[in-house]
Structure 1
Amino acid sequence: MNIPFSPPFIDQAVIDEVLDTLRANWITTGPKVKALESELLNLTGLKAAVCVNSWTSGAIMMLNWFGVGPGDEVIVPAYTYCATALCVLHCGATPVMVDILDDFTIDPEMVKRKISARTKAIIAVDIAGLPCHYEELKALVREPVVRTQFVPKTARQTSLGRILLISDAAHSIGAIYDGKPAAQQSDITIFSFHAVKNITTAEGGCICLNLPEPFDNQEEYTFLKLFSMNGQNRDAFAKSKGANWRYDILFKGFKMNMPDICAAIGLAQIKQYVNTLMPLRKIISLRYGDAFKAHDWFIEPVMQDEKREASYHLFPLRIKGITEAQRDQLIDELVIRGVNVNVHFIPMPMLTYFKSLGYAMANFPNSYKQFANEVSLPIYPQLSDAELHYITDAVIECVQLVKGTETLVKVLS
């Protein structure tokens, strides 16, 4: 067999939605984007949703919207994809990295230690689709001592009066926290619709607003739609209708809008997501757990606890007691057998660019510990029973091979 890691879910409904867009002769931002935004409001129960061309664009937009810039700090986990920190750097601010817990989520205690008068935002990352400990993070940013320490520099910062809590929900669309959509736990939630995500638009993302009073989320939605279109007060769809050609540029915006041809893919998928696509991911996750739980090397990932349920974006398999080199050997053996896997993620302080900025992996021991023995297994709705059996058998065989090699080395030494 040759089993891909994460192919996009493309069924007839997706094809029909895309063809409908092509036949309508309107492929950039228009009615399909608006329809996708409406579906996202239904899914999250939030007040406003702005589709953009990537998660990274959405994060850069919202940090700029909040006035984050040079001299400011944004707290991020060391264990995440590079975009979580790059969006901060693109604003001229400094990412302050902290370590993670064993469930891969940002450690609230470490966050607390790093808060300073320069801290403007926290970006909490829902790795593998598991929501962070938002109750603790929300309590932290609302603590009187922390609020007193907050130094606003812009009108929006003054209106909020505290550190902004952003959820990097690139993995966690549909996740649950306290019986409600997890997206309701933060001020701003940003989804990714990259090709490998639970819902894809090929490339894309969405900013979801849950801002407290005195913010008007609908007013901010209107602003952000313009902000994503160069600050132009009339989009191309409106200009195409009759004599609406005259436009104005109201402020220095970005070009980060999502086109309808992309939104069409996600629109077809999101309509199937809650009742079909995400439940199929959960079934696969549970079957992995059942297949491995009898083995003492298996570290079961947290997919559900008393407060949280993941979106089952990844199955982050971890092998007890192996080294990074052994993990790499395990991956090589699986690939030889036709099982394509991945690692989520290489901690940022291990990457050349971040090392050049002075970040050191030694300061984030738990991030390294989780990385060194993690292998992300294929998990997607179209994975067949035969493929799933093949994967689990291959994993068990390859782990035994790798750990057997370890035992042999010990005997010979």
Structure 2
Amino acid sequence: MNIPFSPPFIDQAVIDEVLDCLRTNWITSGPKVKALEYELLSLTGSKATVCVNSWTSGAIMMLKWFGIGDGDEVIVPAYSYCATALCVLHCGATPVMVDILDDFTIDPAQVRSKITAKTKAIIGVDIAGLPCNYNALRKIVSDPKVKRVFTPASAKQSELGRILLISDAAHSIGSTYEGLPAAQKSDITIFSFHAVKNITTAEGGCICLNLPEPFDNQEEYSFLKLFSLNGQNRDAFAKSKGANWRYDILFKGFKMNMPDICAAIGLAQIKQYNNTLLPLRKNIYLKYCQAFEAYDWFIEPTMKDETRESSYHLFPLRVKGITELDRDKIIEGLVNWGVIVNVHFIPMPMLTYFKSIGYSIENYPNSYKQYACEISLPIYPQLSDVEVDFIIESVIGAVQQVTDVNRLVKVLS
């Protein structure tokens, strides 16, 4: 059997939506993007949504919007994909990394300990689809002592009057927090629609705005639409309608807009998401847990508790008591049996670039501990029961092989 890790969900509805886009002869930003933004408003309950061409673009844009730059600090978890810190570096600011909790989410106590007068934002990362403890993070940024330390350096920072709370929700579209869409718990939530995500546009992302008063989220939406299109006051779709050729550049913007041909894929998927695609992912998660709970090496992922429920983007299997080398051997065994898996993530301080600028994994022991025993299993709607059963059998067999070898080595030594 050959089971890929995370192929995109492409059914007839997706094909029809893309063909509809092609038949209109309009493939860059236009009505499909607007329609996707509307669906995202409905799904998340946000005050405004802005589609962009990637999560990274959305994060850079929002940090720039807030006036973050040289000399500023943004607190991020050490356990994340590199884009979480690179977006900060691209703005000229410094990522201040902190360790994580055992559920993979950022440790609020460590966040609090790292706040200085230079701190302008906190980026929480919803690993595997599980929302961070946003109540704790909101309590930190709203603490009068923390607000007194906050030193605004831009008009937006003065308007907010505190540290900006951003959710890196690349994994967590459809997750909930206290029974509501988790996107509502942060000032800004940014989704990824990369090819492996629960909803994809091939490449793309979305910024969800839930800014408090005195911000006008609709005004900010209008600004950000221009900001993502070079600061141009008339987009290509508007220019195509009659004598609308004249445009102006109002400010120094970016080229980060999402095209309609990409939005069409996500538009077809999002219409099926809550009723079909997300429940299928959850069912696979439950099957994995039911199969593995009989084994004392199984560490069950936190996907639901009294406050939060995941989007079931990943199944981050952890195997108790193994080393990083053991984990790699288990992966090798799975691949040999035709099951492609992944690891989420290599902590950023272990990557060459971040080591070269002074980060060290020794300062983030729990990030390393979770990484060393983590294997991300396939979890997507197209998986058949037969394939899920084969994955389960393969995991049990691969873990058993490694543990048997380790036991033999101990006996012989």
**What's 2:8 paired with?**
8
What amino acid does structure 1 have at the position aligned with 2:248? D
> Is 1:250 matched up with 2:236?
no
**What's 2:158 paired with?**
158
Q: Give, in angstroms, the shift of residue 272 of structure 1.
A: 0.1
Structure 2: distance between partners of 1:197 and 1:332: 24
Any residues of structure 2 matched to 1:27-66 within 5 Å, and which? 27-66=27-66
Structural RMSD (CA): 0.3
**What's 1:351 paired with?**
351
Q: Give, in angstroms, the shift of residue 336 of structure 1.
A: 0.1
Q: Give, in angstroms, the shift of residue 56 of structure 1.
A: 0.1
What amino acid does structure 1 have at the position aligned with 2:40? L
What amino acid does structure 1 have at the position aligned with 2:249? I
Any residues of structure 2 matched to 1:188-337 within 5 Å, and which? 188-337=188-337
**What's 1:340 paired with?**
340
**What's 1:92 paired with?**
92
Structure 2: distance between partners of 1:47 and 1:109: 30
SS at 2:51 equivalent: strand
Structure 2: distance between partners of 1:43 and 1:405: 49
SS at 1:14 equivalent: helix
Structure 2: distance between partners of 1:410 and 1:144: 56
Q: Give, in angstroms, the shift of residue 199 of structure 1.
A: 0.0
What amino acid does structure 2 have at the position aligned with 1:212? P
Structure 2: distance between partners of 1:109 and 1:12: 47
> Is 1:382 matched up with 2:382?
yes
What amino acid does structure 1 have at the position aligned with 2:200? T
Q: Give, in angstroms, the shift of residue 376 of structure 1.
A: 0.1
Structure 1: distance between partners of 2:160 and 2:411: 62
Structure 1 runs (4+) deviating above 3 angstroms are none
> Is 1:366 matched up with 2:366?
yes
What amino acid does structure 1 have at the position aligned with 2:101? L
Q: Give, in angstroms, the shift of residue 87 of structure 1.
A: 0.1
**What's 1:184 paired with?**
184
Q: Give, in angstroms, the shift of residue 283 of structure 1.
A: 0.2
Deviations 1:223-259 (A, max 9, x none): 0000000000000000000000000000000000000
Structure 2: distance between partners of 1:398 and 1:359: 34
> Is 1:113 matched up with 2:113?
yes
What amino acid does structure 2 have at the position aligned with 1:294? A
Deviations 1:266-315 (A, max 9, x none): 00000000000000000000000001000000000000000000000000
SS at 1:121 equivalent: strand
Structure 2: distance between partners of 1:234 and 1:154: 27
Q: Give, in angstroms, the shift of residue 180 of structure 1.
A: 0.3
Q: Give, in angstroms, the shift of residue 29 of structure 1.
A: 0.0
Q: Give, in angstroms, the shift of residue 176 of structure 1.
A: 0.5
| TM-score, scaled relative to structure 1 | 1.00
SS at 2:121 equivalent: strand
Q: Give, in angstroms, the shift of residue 390 of structure 1.
A: 0.2
What amino acid does structure 2 have at the position aligned with 1:353? Y
Structure 1: distance between partners of 2:123 and 2:351: 20
What amino acid does structure 1 have at the position aligned with 2:147? R
Structure 2: distance between partners of 1:406 and 1:273: 43
Structure 2 residues without counterparts, runs of 5 or longer: none
Structure 1: distance between partners of 2:183 and 2:48: 12
> Is 1:406 matched up with 2:406?
yes
Structure 1: distance between partners of 2:300 and 2:29: 42
What amino acid does structure 1 have at the position aligned with 2:224? L
Structure 2: distance between partners of 1:352 and 1:208: 32
Deviations 1:193-224 (A, max 9, x none): 00000000000000000000000000000000
What amino acid does structure 1 have at the position aligned with 2:49? A
Structure 2: distance between partners of 1:106 and 1:324: 22
**What's 1:83 paired with?**
83
Structure 2: distance between partners of 1:66 and 1:84: 16
Structure 1: distance between partners of 2:367 and 2:405: 26
Structure 2: distance between partners of 1:405 and 1:252: 60
Structure 2: distance between partners of 1:187 and 1:409: 53
Any residues of structure 2 matched to 1:124-163 within 5 Å, and which? 124-163=124-163
What amino acid does structure 2 have at the position aligned with 1:139? K
Q: Give, in angstroms, the shift of residue 109 of structure 1.
A: 0.2
Q: Give, in angstroms, the shift of residue 20 of structure 1.
A: 0.1
Structure 1: distance between partners of 2:314 and 2:110: 25
What amino acid does structure 2 have at the position aligned with 1:288? Y
How many residues are paired up?
413
What amino acid does structure 1 have at the position aligned with 2:198? N
Deviations 1:60-114 (A, max 9, x none): 0000000000000000000000000000000000000000000000000000000
What amino acid does structure 2 have at the position aligned with 1:299? I
SS at 1:249 equivalent: coil
**What's 1:397 paired with?**
397
Deviations 1:137-176 (A, max 9, x none): 0000000100000000111000000000000000000000
Structure 2: distance between partners of 1:310 and 1:325: 29
